[in-house]
Structure 1
Amino acid sequence: MTHDTDLAPLHLPGPGDWLGWVAERTEGQLAEARRHVGEVKNGTDDSPEAVLAAWNRAETAIANAEAVALWAEVHPDEAVRERADELSQEVQKYVTELGQDRELFAVLDGLSADGLDADARRLLELTLRDFRRAGVDRDDATRDRLRELSETGVRLSQDFGRNIRDDVRSVRLAPERLAGLPEDYREAHPADADGLVTITTDYPDLVPFMTFGSDGAARRELALAQSNVAWPANDEVLQDLLAVRRETAALLGYASWPDYDSEVKMIGSGQAIADFIERISAAAVERAREEVAVLLERKRADHPDADTVTTYDSRYYSELVRREQYDVDGQVVRTYFGFEQVRQGLLGVTGRLFGLEWTPVSREEAGTWHEEVASYDVGLDGVRIGRIHLDLHPREGKFKHAAQFDMVKGVAGEQLPEGVLVCNFARGLMEHDEVVTLFHEFGHLVHHVLGGQGDWVRFSGVATEWDFVEAPSQMLEEWAWDADVLATFARNATGETIPVDLVAAMRRADQFGKGIYAVHQMSYAARSYFFHAGQHDDLTAYGDELKRRYSVFPPLEGAHMHCAFGHLDGYSSGYYTYMWSLVIAKDLFSAFDADDMFAPEVAHAYRDRVLGMGGRKDAADLVADFLGRPYSFDSWAAWLAE
């Protein structure tokens, strides 16, 4: 891993002209890309190393231009968001054209790999594969149609995400229907002039209500509102997007979109996705049914005639079971997790684990897009190696889920990696599962920075196969469950550290619901896979059928959750990724000593052999390099059986 001492982070406009800056940055980088592509085409007599270096400069400029998609998701000015969407379409149009540029392909295909080092050979191999997957070797008519499909797909993806982002729904309830909610939640939701309280589908409203709200009918109303976000608009958008993907795969000679999509992933084929879904479902379903039986028994204590547990019951009754049978009260637990101390604790934990320094950067210096964004320079061995930005609270027009976005991909000697963490947490107390989520998402940010220290932008940051990218973040969740780790930052209002016995009880209670979680994930994965594996005229009806087949909860009548299921865009047929990655994450964690979570020898080996490598090797090889053996299901199976 190399470090650059003289590189400056990207200059952001702060209170200046964001509309102009976004356009100038994107269009300027596109112009740079075209210039360097010209160098590649004119470099047929140059050495393979020189041609690939020019291609690297072109890809770096393209990556810089592609980062405009970030501003469509986070900028508070609607005009900037709309302009970013338009510019993103221009960038993707150019990327599609480039992928079908036969002259460019001929130059790269004509390069000899003799004498290239391992990274350069890998770059050349993957680049040529990408060209073929873009249809460069197809006839003119096919390439024209592929270009049309790509441009249409970009617009549809943007529409799909925008409809979710802009459609915040709500329910209005009498104050007494907030029974069971924490006092600070009820104080933050006063009654309006009509005597009613508004609860939105944004996470800071939704999650506590579904966890603690004792009014089952109110939970159902809110769950239905959340499941109908972007309905009916996204039903048509999704059907059109699925059709684009089916035709694209067929034109390229694949039996289905999942076969095309999985070719470049660890799993390898569409059938392997289906097999994985069945394998996990079979392994977890018996435990899941036993857990649902426990929930139903508890529900009958309140409603003796109850004969089923629904999705909107699950979180609430799971909380009651943990409170009554495991002595864990989520309302007590949350008092130890004030947002500000969790954020600082996270920085302390990851700094100690990976040997990183986090230096706060003022908004004036960073030039960020909103006053609540917190920025930090990232240091390693006293050298700045990147910058991160934390945008962690909800606001109108902002991305509604949790994700890490690239602002700049790091390239040694050229540009520092910069990443943005986008979440939607409350500004006060956090649920412990939100703390776990923050650790998870921050893991992507660490991966982006540590993996952004190499020479080739193609391998920069989170550049492994897509079904591995969640594994490092899922492994980092383990530190959010350790009593010694939590003791470094989890304190209540009186300054009392979270008790060790409470953390132990939380860990025991967390064992309950693993089966439900696994089959629920496979229910989502099945939707993701089977929606893409064939055509279905009624996505609501088919989605309900898949839920009956793979979930232990019945479908919610009147819900159209596929319209709000944002992963159907970015992950397409690959939502199985989360469970696939969890299998590997459990295996990675097996190398750590649970009694010494910060042992530098293993932590730094993991940092350097997995995170710091970016995409320089196949994910299976990265894991083997760290573990000293191929990955296996054994640790995951043991976790499920605990």
Structure 2
Amino acid sequence: MPKFPKFTITEENIEKQKELVLKTIEENREKLANLLTIPKKSYENFVRPLQLMEEKLGFYFSPISHLNYVKNSPKTQKVYDELLPELSRYHTELGQNGAVYDALKEIFELQDLSNEQKKVVTDMLIEFELSGVALPQKEQEELKKINIKLSELSSSFAQNLLKATDEYEMLITDPKEVAEMPEDELRAAKVENGWRFTLKQPSYIAYMTYGPSRERREELYKAYVTRAPENEKLINAILELRHKKAKLLGFKNYAKLSLETKMAQSPEEIVSFLEDLAKKSKPQAQKEFEELQQFAKENGAAYELQPYDIAYWSEKLKIAKLDVDDEKYKPYFEKDATVNGLFTFLNRLFKLQFQEIDTPVWHESVKCYEISLPHRLVGRLYVDLEAREGKRGGAWMDEWVTHHVDEKGEVVYPVAYIVANFAPSSDTAPSLLRPDDVVTLFHEMGHALHHLLSEVKEPAVSGIAGVEWDAVEFPSQFLENFAYEEEVLSLFAKHYQTGEPLPKEMIENLKRAKNFQSAMAMVRQLEFGLFDMKVHMQWPVDVQQILDEVRKEVSVVPVPPYNKFQWGFGHIFAGGYAAGYYSYKWAEVLSADAFFMFVDNGIYNDEIAESYLQEILCKGGSRPAMESFKAFAGREPRSEALLKLCGIEG
């Protein structure tokens, strides 16, 4: 029976884990020195050990990083912050090692490598070049300092955001100010002398959607869009350092540097792609906004709609127009039943089997599953879906172990985590999900499957490793598209108290509502993507000015001058999406196209499902994403599929 690691890292023993990371860094340095003495270097005796060293380091660091995100405390933060510069120093040192780079070049040029091995070495050579291997010593040192400082600044940005989110609360004592709120939202917000609302997603969304007091909505919105003002200085420092780094490496700007490891060819191509989508979407977005304004006026709103009015009036319009009320749907989406229903769907689609495992977890609400296919074991998945104090907002998938073959020739099975911030369960009620939460769950599971289903032997290109950043969202977006399909919902959407299935009419309404205000949602995402790309293309520049110009070009909702959205834009200032936020839309073209191949041929089509499984999921990053898509679809992707999916007549 294969062994899986146990998640035994806690706040109490995290220092020991830190020592393991530091020890592994030192061991890796020694191993590297020994590898360089090998007279006849080959893929097997040089490149494979390099990958396995990296895998081992990630294996020890991943639980520390994960615990810091899901159970943050001063202790976890301290350990995490102490390790970041050490890891950055180690990786920069490695990336600037000319002897390793020369050995890799020689292996690539002179040895007969498989396609998988070629992809590993090609990716490594690009990484070395981007680490400044060809720079003079003085400039290498400067780059090393930049990388260390950037990792520290990004961590500070994330920590400021988490702290500001955790610290804020809005207390309400007047029952009139919560009069329209659903019962379970009131229960979740109840405190001794009133109701407490915070900037954490479930709480924030609840009041913005149902809170009847416009003054209170603005108060909460203003707190949300002015969180962490100290991040203003960090943004400028981060952008300045990224620009310096790009210049050192011979790029005109950081946007060009970022694209070296992506599918897209140039920043200009991306801007053109996003602006074209905006041009096709904005007229419909404008109509959607005007319809909302008109509806609000007809229902007593004697004011021009502002951002803090949108969710509130949109919910009312959605109910009036489509009879879709999140509160009516939530009883049909009990968290555990929804997770199990997703597993049933994946069993029908790909023959995957999920079995709950009794193993240590970091919180009592977390579950772990062992996954298998009829002919092989796949891996393990930890699922942590409920919001709580000390947990970073949003939803994500992260990996702990990558599928590969070790030095003994034995398969190492992958392990991943899925994390979200859905409404927590209580003593009196289970965790009930909104339809949007169901989509989020499917999305993160798509990422997890991409990582877990890999059959690739080389860890550097297995699972999501080695996948171009602008293709990494493809499998997640693909899976989320099934969340509102009747054949899928019928598997699990049942009332948690009565067991009654979600009525057919409610399913049809939900499906129609999928594209409710889809053009407004589209231009909002395009605003983020264009801001990200332009700020990295045009630096040095006034960040606010770029944002204002982009909003003028694509946005349809007026934005108050105090809105400092950029202070909370963790994706690009504390995550991996710098000059890469466009990738959500870029990958959506692939995912929409693939989705229609299933829908147009019957969802449970074994031939198409097997092709998707083998050509996309099992191949991981072992070849360019476009090659994988073509192998699956037999052709290039069609961009019109995205507008069709969103119901936008471009």
Equivalent in the alignment of 2:627: 621
Greater shift, 588-597 or 473-482, is seen at: 588-597
Contact 2:211 2:312 in 1 (8 A): yes
2:528 to 512, 524, 529: 524
Which residue does the alignment assign to 1:313? 309
Corresponding residue for residue 458 of structure 1: 460
Aligned residue in 2 for 1:281: 278
CA distance in structure 1 between the partners assigned to 2:375 and 2:105 by the alignment: 42
Q: Aligned to 1:34, which of 18, 22, 29?
A: 29
Partner of 2:77: 81
Secondary structure of 1:387 counterpart: strand
CA distance in 1, matches of 2:214, 2:583: 32
Deviation of 1:436 (Å): 0.6
The residue aligned with 2:49 is 54
Alignment equivalent of 2:385, drawn from 378, 381, 392: 392
SS of the equivalent of 2:349 reads helix
State the match for 1:122 in structure 2: 119
Distance 1:418 1:21 in 2: 22
Aligned residue pairs, count: 629
Deviates more, 1:203-212 or 1:514-523: 203-212
Q: Structure 1 residue 65: deviation in Å?
A: 4.6
Contact 2:115–2:623 at 8 Å: present in 1 too? no
- Which residue pairs with 1:3 in the alignment? none
Give 2:481's aligned residue: 478
The one of 479, 489, 494 aligned to 2:492: 489
Query: Could you tell me which of 337, 348, 368 is aligned with 2:361?
Result: 368
1:624 is displaced (CA, Å) by 0.5
Tell me which of 563, 568, 571 is aligned to 2:572: 568
Determine the structure 2 residue equivalent to 1:347: 343
The CA deviation string for residues 473-524 of structure 1, in whole angstroms up to 9 with x for no partner, is 1111122111121111111122110011211111112222111111110111
Q: In the alignment, which residue of structure 1 is the partner of 2:538?
A: 534
Matched, 1:419 2:416: yes
SS of structure 2 residue aligned to 1:388 = strand
Q: Secondary structure at the match of 2:171?
A: strand
Q: TM-score, normalised on structure 2?
A: 0.92
Q: Which amino acid aligns with 1:175?
A: P
Residues of 2 paired with 1:211 and 1:9: CA distance? 43
State how far apart, in whole Å, the 2-side matches of 1:240 and 1:506 are.
Answer: 44
Match status 1:634 vs 2:640: yes
Aligned to 2:181: 181
* 1:607 counterpart (613, 638, 645): 613
Query: For the structure 1 residues 415 and 24, does the alpha-carbon distance in structure 2 shift closer, same or farther, using more than 3 Å as the test?
Result: farther
Q: Which residue does the alignment assign to 2:151?
A: 154
User: In structure 2, the residue corresponding to 1:533 is in which secondary structure?
Assistant: helix
| 1:216 and 2:214 matched | yes
Structure 1 residue 331 displacement after superposition: 2.0
Superposed CA deviations along residues 422-477 of structure 1, whole A, max 9, x for unmatched, are 211113221101111111111111111112x3211111211310111111111111
- TM-superposed deviation, 1:293: 1.0
Q: Distance in 1 between matches of 2:84 and 2:412?
A: 21
Deviation at 1:233, TM superposition (A): 1.3
TM-aligned CA distance change 1:446 to 1:581, over 3 Å: same
Over 3 Å counting, the alpha-carbon distance change for 1:191 and 1:121 in structure 2 is: closer
Q: Secondary structure at the match of 1:59?
A: helix
User: 1:538: Cα distance to partner?
Assistant: 4.8
SS class of match (2:416): strand
How has the CA–CA distance of structure 1 residues 47 and 338 changed in structure 2, closer, same or farther, with 3 Å as cutoff?
A: closer
How far is 1:532 from its partner?
A: 1.6
Q: Following the alignment from structure 1 to structure 2, what is the Cα–Cα distance between the partners of residues 315 and 536?
A: 35
TM-score, normalisation: structure 1: 0.94
Q: Alpha carbons of 1:399 and 1:304: their partners in 2 closer, same or farther (altered >3 Å)? A: closer
How many angstroms apart in 2 are the aligned matches of 1:128 and 1:443?
A: 29
C-alpha distance in 2 between matches for 1:288 and 1:148: 45
Distance in 2 between residues matched to 1:641 and 1:538, nearest whole Å: 33
Q: Which of 249, 252, 262 is equivalent to 1:252? A: 249
CA deviation map 1:568-621 (0-9, x unaligned): 132011111111111111011122135732222211211111011110111111
Q: For residues 301 and 201 of structure 2, what CA distance do their matches in structure 1 show?
A: 31
- 1:114 CA displacement: 3.4
8 A contact 1:15–1:367 mirrored in 2: no
Cα distance in structure 2, aligned partners of 1:507 and 1:12 = 39
Residue equivalent to 1:557: 561
Query: Distance between the aligned counterparts of 1:394 and 1:78, measured in 2?
Result: 19
Within 5 Å, which residues of 2 pair with 1:132-151? 132-151=129-148
* Offset at residue 397 of structure 1 (A): 2.1
Q: CA deviation at 1:400?
A: 1.1
2:396 corresponding residue in structure 1: 403
Aligned to 1:170: 169
Paired residue for 2:267?
Answer: 270
Letter in 2 for 1:421: I
Given the alignment of the two structures, is residue 435 of structure 1 paired with residue 438 of structure 2, yes or no?
A: yes
Q: Is the 8 A contact 1:440 1:474 kept in 2?
A: yes
Residues 226, 564 of structure 2: 8 Å contact kept: yes
CA contact (8 A) 1:34 1:58 kept: no
CA distance 1:588–1:314, change in 2 (3 Å): same
Q: CA deviation at 1:260?
A: 0.6
Residues 15 and 79, structure 2, Cα contact 8 Å, conserved in 1: no
CA-CA distance at 1:190 after TM superposition? 2.3
Preserved contact between residue 288 and residue 519 of structure 2 (Cα < 8 Å): yes
- CA distance in 1 between partners of 2:532 and 2:471 (Å): 17
Q: Amino acid of the residue matched to residue 482 of structure 2?
A: W
> Structure 1's 113 and 335: CA in aligned 2 closer, same or farther, altered over 3 A?
farther
Q: Relative to structure 2, which stretch is displaced further, 547-556 or 515-524?
A: 547-556
Deviation at 1:541, TM superposition (A): 4.9
Unpaired segments of 5 or more residues in structure 1?
Answer: 1-5
Q: Secondary structure at the match of 1:446?
A: helix
Distance 1:506 1:48 in 2: 53
Q: Is the 8 A contact 1:60 1:457 kept in 2?
A: yes
CA change 1:380–1:31 in 2 (3 A) is: farther
Question: Which position in structure 2 is the counterpart of 1:7?
Answer: 2
Residues 186 and 195, structure 2, Cα contact 8 Å, conserved in 1: no
Q: How does 1:96-115 map to 2 (within 5 A)?
A: 96-111=92-107, 112-115=109-112
Alignment partner, residue 328 of structure 2? 332
Match of 1:190 in 2: 190
Query: Residue 207 of structure 1 is aligned with which of 202, 205, 211?
Result: 205
Relative to structure 1, the CA distance from residue 21 to residue 461 in structure 2 (aligned partners, 3 Å threshold; closer, same or farther) is: farther
SS at match of 1:253: coil
Structure 2: distance between partners of 1:393 and 1:384: 28
CA distance in 2, matches of 1:598, 1:445: 20
1:509 aligns with 2:513: yes
Q: Distance in 2 between matches of 1:113 and 1:294?
A: 65
* Mapped contact 2:253–2:539 kept (Cα < 8 A): no
CA contact (8 A) 2:11 2:75 kept: no
- Identity between Structure 1 and Structure 2 (%): 27
CA contact (8 A) 2:397 2:444 kept: yes
Q: Which amino acid aligns with 1:172?
A: L
**Aligned counterparts of 1:208 and 1:446: Cα–Cα separation in 2:** 31
Q: What's the Cα RMSD here?
A: 2.0
Classify 1:256/1:373 alpha carbon distance in 2 versus 1 (closer, same or farther; 3 Å).
same
Structure 2: where are the runs of 5+ without partners?
A: 425-430
| C-alpha spacing 1:65/1:293, structure 2 compared with 1 (3 Å) | same
